[in-house]
């Protein structure tokens, strides 16, 4: 079975997209656990950026090293430089500058639920870039339901007060950057091999994160023990595997055909944060989770007459 056939088959899409969602959902408790173990506090912007940069630098080396083992080309091509910088600026640098800072001010559960909005941002950018991926009344209704979920998860339990602070705003902005970064990755994967594109965009994004971290407070080092080194290694592996898988799925499918699977990220993220970090799973978190999931399903639910379209449509 060829890669295209697998990644366009319904079972292949479901298996690979669900695997991505599980990997990305597990990142929320892993990052929060890393902050606690390394004593990285929200106000320590330099440390946050350096830790993010180290994660994606290792992930890029894993991807490029794997290509080398397979005897695939890894030499940086001049023609691919600007496209990879564009993808890296959004999919790694900007997304994770905002994400790491935002998550340091929020719970893993809040971050997981807000991550579900990536699908909505992808829909908006696809509407602007693709003629056959326009917003409809059904999609707009799904968008409103989904963003209502984001609002619900930020209501303080017991006090019934809406809470949307700097952390939540940064997480939402990070998901917007992720959405446009995913669309850019889809466009560029039409002419650049996915693993090659992903490895170098991560490398450039990681260098940018570490430069930004240095600008905020100089070069940072961390005292790693086996547990914290294991967390960093896990985050690097999930990034390498998750982004290569997702960018491959995006290459062979229309944005609207696969984005519905992103609703699994908050499902996995909230469940794992609750189990591993003992975070409360209160009513508003559950309500927000259900609304985000419902919004994404409504946005991407096909009518019986609709036929799936495969391939690049830009």
pTM over cut 0.85:
no
Write the CA distances from 57 to 5, 6, 207, integer angstroms: 31, 29, 7
Convert the pLDDT of each residue in 49-104 to its tens digit. Answer: 999 999 999 999 999 999 999 888 888 888 899 999 999 999 999 999 998 888 88
Mark out the alpha helices in the chain (DSSP H runs): 3-8, 10-38, 45-69, 78-88, 95-104, 108-115, 118-129, 137-153, 166-188, 194-217, 226-252, 255-258, 264-277, 283-300
Convert the pLDDT of each residue in 223-242 to its tens digit. Answer: 899 999 999 999 999 999 99
Range 167-183 average pLDDT: 89
Rounded percentage of the chain residues whose pLDDT exceeds 90: 33
What are the b/e assignments for 229-253, b being 16+ CB within 10 Å? eebbebbbebbbbbbbbbbbbbbbb
Residues 274, 269: Cα–Cα separation, whole Å: 8
119-121-125 Cα angle (round to 5)? 120
User: Is the per-residue pLDDT at 132 higher than 60?
Assistant: yes
Name the residue with tokens 């995913």. Answer: 182
Contacts of 220 (CB under 8 A, 6+ apart): 46, 47, 50, 51, 213
Name the residue with tokens 């794992």. Answer: 272
Q: Are the CB atoms for 83 and 192 separated by under 8 Å?
A: yes
Which residue from 123, 111, 74 is spatially nearest to 256, judged by alpha carbons? 123
DSSP state of 44: -
| Residue 155: band (very low, low, confident or very high) from pLDDT cuts 50, 70, 90 | low
């Amino acid at each position: 079975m060829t890669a295209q056939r697998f990644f366009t088959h319904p079972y292949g899409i479901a298996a690979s997209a669900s695997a991505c969602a599980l990997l990305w959902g597990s990142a929320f408790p892993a990052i929060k656990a890393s902050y606690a173990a390394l004593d990285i506090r929200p106000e320590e912007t330099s440390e946050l950026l350096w830790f993010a940069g180290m994660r994606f630098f290792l992930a890029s080396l894993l991807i490029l090293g794997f290509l080398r083992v397979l005897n695939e080309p890894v030499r940086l091509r001049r023609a691919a430089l600007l496209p990879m910088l564009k993808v890296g600026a959004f999919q790694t640098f900007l997304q994770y500058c905002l994400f790491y800072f935002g998550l340091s001010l929020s719970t893993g559960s809040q971050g997981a639920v807000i991550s579900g909005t990536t699908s909505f941002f992808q829909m908006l950018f696809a509407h602007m870039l693709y003629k056959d991926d326009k917003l409809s009344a059904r999609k707009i209704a799904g968008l409103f339901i989904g963003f209502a979920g984001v609002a619900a998860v930020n209501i303080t339990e017991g006090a019934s007060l809406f809470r949307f602070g700097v952390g939540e705003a940064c997480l939402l902005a990070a998901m917007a950057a992720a959405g446009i970064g995913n669309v850019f990755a889809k466009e560029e994967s039409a002419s650049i091999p996915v693993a090659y594109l992903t490895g170098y965009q991560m490398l450039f994004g990681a260098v940018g994160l570490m430069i930004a971290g240095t600008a905020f407070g100089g070069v940072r080092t961390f005292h790693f023990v086996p547990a914290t080194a294991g967390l960093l290694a896990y985050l690097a592996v999930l990034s390498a595997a998750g982004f290569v898988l997702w960018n491959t799925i995006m290459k062979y499918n229309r944005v609207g055909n696969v984005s519905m699977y992103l609703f699994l990220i908050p499902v996995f993220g909230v469940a794992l944060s609750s189990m591993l970090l003992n975070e409360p799973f209160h009513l508003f978190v559950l309500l927000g989770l259900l609304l985000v999931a419902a919004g994404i399903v409504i946005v991407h639910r096909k009518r019986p007459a609709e036929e799936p379209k495969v391939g690049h449509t830009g």
